[in-house]
Structure 1
């Protein structure tokens, strides 16, 4: 099995399932959609004008937050404190990383291109992304400016050097954000966590922070933000722009340490998915 490549199961149709069909149909009025497009464009222009300053954590956090605001998306943060309880945190009061001599390997489920913007709006860290992301409008530009590490998911020969580079980054004290499911899925459980990037945490003696990303529309679990199959970025952006009362909830779970990459990947996936049933068999 290729540790990078994943055969996509979800299709664009998954973003229009019965759970959010009513909400998707009752989108925002045209004037509001136009305003959002204009606001997003203005934010991207402002980010591009920031130049090298965009790589600064505070600037990057502010620009990512501005993109969410422009799209009308509310960000909610929660911390999993165990025993089935969750403590609501206010925006900007939570951290993805774990204090210590090394960086943190932040691992999250992957639903949308919005995931990157959402996590950067909480705490900017180095990203590991598929090579195609670099060519995306808006997201690709921001990703290149902040020093994202791009990988070829079909290139097995790149695997050892990529893992070694990630381990060096973690040892240096920099944190790295990865999406170990390998591709986007319509809901949290998605696919199996690939183990390759967890080896970098083992080699560096770095903690792993599992993070769950959930999207809601009018308070109901929604797939409207999903970026699925061979769907184009413009189509996905249009659906997000038109979504009424779209929100995203980010839940951080206790950090994981010790063990091998197999056990870390399995434990991280259990933390992220919780008791949710898989979206696909």
Structure 2
């Protein structure tokens, strides 16, 4: 593992709260079963040519289907969703969000279906790898600094062609109460393509006050443990706040654009607040 890769200090033992008001075990099992059924339905949809014209020729699933399926996945896990904020423009767009959980991925896709950034190892996964490639995922070589210019150029081409690209510029999952610095490389692609950056704030709450860390997927946490914690937590709500787009022509370099995108998200402190030394995220990650 390269020392330059982003990491967070958050761990399940130190940051993730136990489920104080857990749902009954049968309810949690039913929720997980519903998620499994929707995942299988998603595989079937991904393998079936839908839509018309260019989307059908490329084997892409229509955006409306993707958006609806992503919302169903989150809801099936027992999580209510509340979307607020600005409208999402059409055309080339870089969507960036803070990273807390595996839930962030379908939530961001529900804002606008986009080409996600994922580590290159996912391409070699059985079943998931080919499906991710079919879904338009952009794979990045996180361990190779030399591959960075090629990766930025690939993202730039997608943005210039009018696609939306989604990234988690913190590069690692955080617990939701702490936040990491934004890595700047992906913002260079937005500058090169001349497309706006749309920041998104994702946070999770239960019926009590404050932010809930129950959905956090951090450190040495396992996906199975995280799935069970989400499914067994009562009254969990995901709040997705879409912030105003940041135009690229007002910023002369990627550092300035990254700072503007971060400062445009209410509740996330400006500046660099990252830490190092923890295990890297197991979820999809960005530059």
Q: TM-score, normalized by length of structure 1?
A: 0.83
CA positional deviation for 1:107:
0.8
CA positional deviation for 1:31:
1.2
CA positional deviation for 1:75:
0.8
Pairwise CA RMSD of aligned residues? Answer: 2.7
Q: Any unmatched runs of 5+ in structure 2?
A: 51-59, 276-287
CA positional deviation for 1:77:
1.0
1:4/1:194 CA distance change after superposition, 3 Å: farther
1:25/1:145 CA distance change after superposition, 3 Å: farther
Q: Aligned pair 1:194/2:183, yes or no?
A: yes
1:137/1:14 CA distance change after superposition, 3 Å: farther
Aligned mates of 2:142, 2:109 — CA distance in 1: 23
Residue of 18, 32, 40 corresponding to 1:37 = 32
CA positional deviation for 1:219:
4.7
1:133/1:29 CA distance change after superposition, 3 Å: farther
- Asked if the contact 1:128–1:149 (Cα under 8 Å) also holds between the matched residues in 2, the reply is yes
Aligned mates of 2:184, 2:21 — CA distance in 1: 41
Q: Any unmatched runs of 5+ in structure 1?
A: 81-94
Q: Aligned pair 1:98/2:89, yes or no?
A: yes
1:137/1:70 CA distance change after superposition, 3 Å: farther
* Structure 2 match to 1:25: 20
* Structure 1 match to 2:262: 269
Q: TM-score, normalized by length of structure 2?
A: 0.81
1:116/1:266 CA distance change after superposition, 3 Å: same
Aligned mates of 2:128, 2:239 — CA distance in 1: 20
Aligned mates of 1:137, 1:29 — CA distance in 2: 34
Q: Aligned pair 1:170/2:165, yes or no?
A: no
1:279/1:200 CA distance change after superposition, 3 Å: closer
CA positional deviation for 1:194:
0.4
